[in-house]
Structure 1
Amino acid sequence: MISIIGVLVSLLLPAVQSAREAARRAQCVNNLKQIGLALFNYENSVGAFPPGYIDYQNNPNYTPDLDTGPGWGWAAMSLPFLEQQPLYSAINFNLAIRSPSNSTAVLTSLNVFQCPSDGYNPQPCILYDSTFTNPIATVAHSNYAAVSGWEECFMNAGGNPQPFYTNNNDPNGSPITFGDPTDGITGMGVACGFGSAGIGMFYRNSNTRVASVTDGLSNTLAIGERCTAHSPTTWVGAVTGARVPAWMATTPWTSPNTPPPGPNQGNGTAYDNADFDEALCLAHGNFTHKPNSDNPLYDPDVFWSMHPGGCNFLFADGSVHFLKTSMDGRTYQYVMTRAGGEIISADSY
């Protein structure tokens, strides 16, 4: 009898787990739909979507290690449209995220920014400086990052420049051209020069209007998922001076918020491959960084979820789709741009 019960349990348990994950994934979809509605209400009120994050550094060629703040991001700017007017009013947007005057507000955990499949909710993010020995801020966690394009954003977007990839870098083997060919010298199988910057919906000091999304709102990604186990993400924005490690890069895996074992010592490649503050609220994707697929690089500012096989994404038209790890890499890169002019089939994702 005991053996029979054991067999029945082993048969039922996967079904129960699958049903629970389906419910969690559905809640995640609902979160993104609420966020999408808030972004559109913001756009209707202001005339443009909120900036990826705000920085007073006006030199478009500066990378985010030179950001001066205040750093408030797209999610913080959307709070009044998420029924969070009291929290919005409690923030002094003229001061930096790290200002003591904002210390209570930035620790506020919000369910709409948390995917229930992430087991680390609602733990706050402990952020470190470039040495990873000095904690500089503790902020509320989020599972959603805004789409900056198909590369780590440079110039107005913030971030490090990514190579301009030519056709032989495409794992699908098809000739493709991304970005403006005049940005760099193309070569067979050689990455040289840099692609276009600020080509997604959100980037540093962005001011994206509906009319500028010429690829079509239904063909352009706006927001995607990122789990805590991969790298820290927060709804508050880009915390000036913070570095963003890729926890998944460590072998064995390093749990989130874990500092290196000593001063100036990396704990695997998570710290060596860290990005700057923009990665706390922005992310990118391309044919080498598809959903839930970043090995062996494990870039911090990409999209990764705890849902098996892919991530939920909010498109700029307010619809939510589950993009699979197995999807065509070119299609994934195409939907990262807002005005790239790529041709995308309706059944591509």
Structure 2
Amino acid sequence: MRRPSRCNRRGGTLLEVLGAVTIVAVLAGLLLPALQKAREASTRTKCQNNLKQLALAAHSFHTTRHGFPAGEIAFGSRTGAVVGEDYYTCWVIPLLPFIGEENRAKAMAETTEFADRHQGGRSSLYGAPIRTLICPSDTLPVTGAFEYHSPDPTNPTHDARFPVGRYDAVCSYGANWGTRTFRYHPSEVAENNGVFHYNTRTRVTDISDGISSTILFGERSHREPRWQFMGAAYPAQQNFAVFARWYTGGVFTGRQPHEMINYRLPPSVESTPPTQGTPQWNDLFHKRLGSYGSEHLGGCNIVLADGSVRFVADVLTLTTLHALSTKSGGETILAE
């Protein structure tokens, strides 16, 4: 009787294994960029929807209050302050009821002194993130201890009232203050040329450049958190995230040639976080803190005063950016 033959088992050769690995690597190389592109498209769309919601909220406020909210809203006074109206908040607070945050808005309205917002359990009002105000691509943490910013850069004793090092009330978007750092003094308020002013409401009829040619809100990237603070010349203010929070948020596109979209400090400067002495207050404001930007590839989202959202490339000229930032400058905007 013939003995049954054993099944011949054929093992894979090294060459076959390497071939399979190569095929998998090629497929992964093809799929990963596609997945990343799809993810970026999704986050960009969510970000654009956030800006649309903010624009709708601003126009709803305009309808009920006959003007857009003030960019900076001051109230009260403190003895010895250079700026008399020293307690303040920003445009986000009046818009809260229009973005589904009625309860938080009501609770905040009952807070008479925003400078004491870290006391009495009120920190929960600011600590919980508002997703409409956060771009999914933004890298900044969304919770943490309070930080505070006062409009008085010459007297740091007016500022350091809150713990530092983490972030609350994060906002990925800034209101359009125009082409200048915002003016606080009554004699200078008229110099503000953006849509959002200090203690002043802008009406649609005030935007003579046209609501389809004027920025309302834009993205404000926090890609370099160590530069998101006010000025190392004032040690009490270090690590204070000036534009990181939604209770003091704004953007200005200054006249310096380095404030283009997604502007980043030169490598020779950004390699070392600020220390005592330099950069000074104005150096930080004009070089980094006032610029639009995002974590999206190639540019950032803005929403115009007519409610339309645009993705603007980071190669947009500063001249065009300035023209889009003024509400009544009379500039001619060329297609780019």
TM-score relative to the length of structure 2: 0.72
Shift of 1:133: 8.2
Equivalent residue letter for 1:127: E
Partner residue of 2:322?
333
Matched, 1:98 2:127: no
Number of residue pairs matched by the alignment: 280
Distance 1:79 1:13, change over 3 A: same
Matched, 1:66 2:86: no
Partner residue of 1:167?
none
Does the aligned pair in 2 maintain the 1:279–1:301 contact within 8 Å? no
The 5 Å alignment of 1:10-159 reads 10-56=29-75, 66=83, 68-91=85-108, 92=110, 94-99=112-117, 100-101=119-120, 102-124=122-144, 126-127=146-147, 130=156, 135-136=162-163, 139-155=168-184
Does the aligned pair in 1 maintain the 2:219–2:301 contact within 8 Å? yes
Cα deviation code 1:280-307 (max 9, x no counterpart): 4111114531110243364213212111
The 5 Å alignment of 1:234-313 reads 246-247=227-228, 264=235, 280-286=248-254, 287-296=257-266, 298-313=287-302
Does the aligned pair in 2 maintain the 1:199–1:337 contact within 8 Å? yes
Partner residue of 2:222?
228
Does the aligned pair in 1 maintain the 2:90–2:248 contact within 8 Å? no
Partner residue of 1:315?
304
SS in 1 for 2:311: strand
Equivalent residue letter for 1:289: E
Partner residue of 2:194?
200
Matched, 1:9 2:3: no
Does the aligned pair in 1 maintain the 2:228–2:242 contact within 8 Å? no
Question: Quick check: which one's helix share is greater?
Answer: 2
Shift of 1:205: 0.7
Does the aligned pair in 1 maintain the 2:169–2:247 contact within 8 Å? no
Query: For residues 204 and 329 of structure 2, what CA distance do their matches in structure 1 show?
Result: 15
Gaps of 5+ in 2: 1-19, 150-155, 267-283
Query: For residues 103 and 117 of structure 1, what CA distance do their matches in structure 2 show?
Result: 25
Shift of 1:57: 7.1
Query: For residues 275 and 37 of structure 1, what CA distance do their matches in structure 2 show?
Result: 22
Q: Which moved more, 1:283-292 or 1:315-324?
A: 283-292
Query: For residues 202 and 13 of structure 1, what CA distance do their matches in structure 2 show?
Result: 42
Task: Give percent identity, aligned residues only.
Answer: 27
Shift of 1:56: 3.0
Query: For residues 71 and 24 of structure 1, what CA distance do their matches in structure 2 show?
Result: 32
Equivalent residue letter for 1:316: A
Shift of 1:155: 4.0
Distance 1:9 1:217, change over 3 A: same
Query: For residues 5 and 67 of structure 1, what CA distance do their matches in structure 2 show?
Result: 67
Partner residue of 1:168?
none
